A and B are shown apart, each in its own frame.
Chain A
């Protein structure tokens, strides 16, 4: 395996969790809900995924458990913000704080245990093509799922009736309600989808990225995923590009660190966070880019009049 090929493979591994979590949040935000609890849902997905895979020995059951963990957290968020009409920003923060605590408690007995690693699926013949073979056709199942999700969400959001309903609920919940759509139900569904994706992303971390459980192993990736959604201006394909760019920055930092050019490691470790801020500034400052696609009702509470 050549050096470039290895770097590209690690970039894909670093980008996939960001992409998975961000695509879920993108759909949630398109329905007008801002869920700041991505980090909490993700870390719960990671601990549930690891636990299930460790006890059963099957990483695929781990994936399902990760999805369930993320959806459980998302369901709590949905009950709070949709049924009880609580403030979305505060509830999202609560979700993150609770997720970090709960996962630490659940995962206490898993620390230091060897996990079940998700194997690569090599597509016969295609994966033996030099260079592009392993990159395109030798990944694990979650990488394929993440890419399929990009195309699927683009299609559903912009080419189907369901997508139109989701976007109308996100852009003007009062009109959508007046037209007879059940705003709360649509939002419940989108929040749960976001939770499933975040859980999947967490499971990827604890099953494929580093197959073990480490407390707070998400390391701010949930927040970076939130920033990526803004960066993408709520468009799935742009989101994919953003996620891979971020993954590249993350890996470049590690690579430079390994080479040791005399730069303190802390500066390189802070690179992804710094780049997130810079990316946010560049996109947010550009009004034409953000105005068009920002869901107009994002973060607003909706209580139907009866």
Chain B
């Protein structure tokens, strides 16, 4: 038996829609096996993981709180990856966005006006974009691989945050805990209703709408698609690869920065040494699960937010390790990529090897 890929004459429309669904189904089956191995009833464990987060108002709100940064970052990354620019340092851009945005409430702590929040958000986006400008510059000027440089910068950003929170920006009245002063009033994201859902989720939806229009209705979006899929054709059309590198990295960095300040001014309300449970990395999975399409990212972001909340619930209810959620996320990305193969190829099982003569005759 031999597994062989047979190229389809055109993309399979059916598989384009079905592959994320298939990937989720396969992940759930794998999850059931993982739970069974740990000696749990797979059905009740899967229920806690994937359904329970949607059964109470409180947990739905938590899903939205977690979905907001994932969608913001994932939408930016999907445009980036569409252009074949591999920004994997969103976690670092998120961190720098959080730092830049926090400058306002920490240094001018008494300034209270609606403008405060606006300035914080702009600073956050600029901070993230500025940090993403480093790999963009190094890529365009020195041809340095953006995958490696953007990832190295994640470690550097986290160390800078650690230093700032333990050093210059530590709350003098904070009993030496590594955290900044607590933000108040207009230094915080307004919440929607009484719960913890804040306007970050609205920003995320706005970003998705804008990026959808960008990708489907503008010349810039077309340039991104051409440069990403057919760089030679792009060169002949006079599109500049360097400009696309700048554009996509600044865009995705800016959105990651916005997500960062949204976290600090939202759920946590102050700078701490750890401000994100790896949103910048999970957003890579969000981008792929969303088929590198901003609208798809909207659904994918909610889906992965559910795994975070389900993971927390499973840890409390069933004593399942919190690492399980991370394993799920990794497995999910594997299955998404494997299922995407079905869009371009048919998979055939051959009983035995075809001899060279036979296949010449067959053609």
- List A residues at the B interface (Cβ < 8 Å): 36, 76, 80, 83-87, 89-91, 93-94, 97-102, 104-105, 108, 220, 223, 226-227, 230, 264, 266-267, 269-270, 273-274, 276-277, 280-281, 284-285, 287, 290, 303, 306
Task: Please list 28 pairs of residues, one from A and one from B, whose beta carbons are closer than 8 Å in the complex, sorted by A's number.
Answer: A80-B338, A85-B5, A91-B337, A93-B88, A94-B285, A97-B285, A97-B326, A98-B330, A98-B333, A101-B327, A108-B321, A220-B152, A227-B145, A267-B163, A273-B156, A277-B144, A277-B149, A277-B152, A277-B153, A280-B144, A281-B142, A281-B144, A281-B149, A284-B145, A285-B142, A285-B144, A303-B7, A306-B359
Q: A85-B5, A284-B144 are in contact. Are A93 and B326 (CB under 8 A)?
A: no
Whether B143 contacts A285 by the Cβ 8 Å rule is yes
Which B residues are in CB contact (< 8 Å) with A284? 142-145
Which B residues are in CB contact (< 8 Å) with A264? 163, 167
Which B residues are in CB contact (< 8 Å) with A276? 148, 152
Whether B330 contacts A105 by the Cβ 8 Å rule is no
Q: Is B361 located at the chain interface by the 8 A CB criterion? A: no
Contact of A105 among B160, B167, B327 (CB under 8 A): B327
Q: Tell me what chain A mostly uses at the interface: helix, strand, loop, or mixed.
A: helix
Q: Is B173 located at the chain interface by the 8 A CB criterion? A: no
Contact of A102 among B153, B327, B338, B341 (CB under 8 A): B327
Using C-beta atoms within 8 Å of the partner chain, give the interface range for chain B: 35 or more
Which A residues are in CB contact (< 8 Å) with B153? 273, 277
The CA of A210 and the CA of B344, in the complex, are separated in Å by 46
The CA of A80 and the CA of B138, in the complex, are separated in Å by 31
Q: Is B36 located at the chain interface by the 8 A CB criterion? A: no
7 nearest A-B pairs in the assembled complex, by CB-CB distance = A98-B330, A101-B326, A285-B142, A104-B323, A266-B163, A94-B333, A105-B323
Residue of A nearest to B330 (CB): A98
* Shortest distance between the CB of B80 and any CB in chain A (Å): 12
* Shortest distance between the CB of A167 and any CB in chain B (Å): 21
Q: Tell me what chain B mostly uses at the interface: helix, strand, loop, or mixed.
A: helix
Q: A80-B338, A104-B323 are in contact. Are A94 and B330 (CB under 8 A)?
A: yes
Contact of A108 among B145, B151, B323 (CB under 8 A): B323
Q: Is B62 located at the chain interface by the 8 A CB criterion? A: no
Q: Mark B262-297, 1 if CB is under 8 A from A, else 0.
A: 000000000000000000010011001000000000
Residue of A nearest to B134 (CB): A277
Q: Is B107 located at the chain interface by the 8 A CB criterion? A: no
Q: Is B4 located at the chain interface by the 8 A CB criterion? A: yes
Q: Is B3 located at the chain interface by the 8 A CB criterion? A: yes
Q: Is B202 located at the chain interface by the 8 A CB criterion? A: no
Which A residues are in CB contact (< 8 Å) with B163? 264, 266-267
The CA of A223 and the CA of B310, in the complex, are separated in Å by 31
Q: A105-B324, A303-B7 are in contact. Are A270 and B149 (CB under 8 A)?
A: no
Contact of B345 among A85, A87, A277 (CB under 8 A): A85
Which A residues are in CB contact (< 8 Å) with B145? 227, 230, 280, 284
Q: Is B334 located at the chain interface by the 8 A CB criterion? A: yes
Which B residues are in CB contact (< 8 Å) with A100? 326, 330
The CA of A225 and the CA of B338, in the complex, are separated in Å by 27
The CA of A101 and the CA of B328, in the complex, are separated in Å by 8
The CA of A101 and the CA of B322, in the complex, are separated in Å by 9
Which A residues are in CB contact (< 8 Å) with B177? none
Q: Mark B163-182, 1 if CB is under 8 A from A, else 0.
A: 10001000000000000000
* Shortest distance between the CB of A98 and any CB in chain B (Å): 3
Q: Is B354 located at the chain interface by the 8 A CB criterion? A: yes
Which A residues are in CB contact (< 8 Å) with B323? 101-102, 104-105, 108
Whether B334 contacts A76 by the Cβ 8 Å rule is yes
Whether B4 contacts A98 by the Cβ 8 Å rule is no
Q: Is B51 located at the chain interface by the 8 A CB criterion? A: no
Interface residues of B in 333-348 (CB under 8 A from A): 333-334, 337-338, 340-341, 344-345, 347
Q: Is B212 located at the chain interface by the 8 A CB criterion? A: no
Which B residues are in CB contact (< 8 Å) with A277? 138, 144, 148-149, 152-153
Q: Is B329 located at the chain interface by the 8 A CB criterion? A: yes
The CA of A5 and the CA of B156, in the complex, are separated in Å by 31
Residue of B nearest to A107 (CB): B323
The CA of A101 and the CA of B331, in the complex, are separated in Å by 10
Whether B4 contacts A87 by the Cβ 8 Å rule is no
Whether B148 contacts A226 by the Cβ 8 Å rule is yes
Whether B330 contacts A270 by the Cβ 8 Å rule is no
Given contacts A280-B138, A306-B354, list 8 more A-B pairs with CB under 8 A. A80-B334, A84-B341, A90-B288, A101-B330, A220-B152, A220-B155, A269-B159, A276-B148
Q: Is B183 located at the chain interface by the 8 A CB criterion? A: no
Q: Is B246 located at the chain interface by the 8 A CB criterion? A: no
Which A residues are in CB contact (< 8 Å) with B308? none
Residue of A nearest to B137 (CB): A281
Which B residues are in CB contact (< 8 Å) with A108? 321, 323
* Shortest distance between the CB of B341 and any CB in chain A (Å): 5
The CA of A176 and the CA of B153, in the complex, are separated in Å by 38
Residue of A nearest to B356 (CB): A180
Interface residues of B in 57-113 (CB under 8 A from A): 81, 86, 88
* Shortest distance between the CB of B103 and any CB in chain A (Å): 18
Q: A86-B340, A101-B327, A264-B163 are in contact. Are A93 and B152 (CB under 8 A)?
A: no
Q: Is B213 located at the chain interface by the 8 A CB criterion? A: no
Which B residues are in CB contact (< 8 Å) with A76? 334
Q: Is B162 located at the chain interface by the 8 A CB criterion? A: yes
Contact of B321 among A93, A105, A274, A285 (CB under 8 A): A105
* Shortest distance between the CB of B304 and any CB in chain A (Å): 12
Which B residues are in CB contact (< 8 Å) with A86? 337-338, 340-341
* Shortest distance between the CB of A220 and any CB in chain B (Å): 5
Contact of B4 among A94, A266, A306 (CB under 8 A): A306
Whether B152 contacts A273 by the Cβ 8 Å rule is yes
* Shortest distance between the CB of A97 and any CB in chain B (Å): 4
Q: Is B21 located at the chain interface by the 8 A CB criterion? A: no
The CA of A280 and the CA of B151, in the complex, are separated in Å by 13
Contact of B148 among A94, A102, A223 (CB under 8 A): A223
Whether A270 contacts B329 by the Cβ 8 Å rule is no
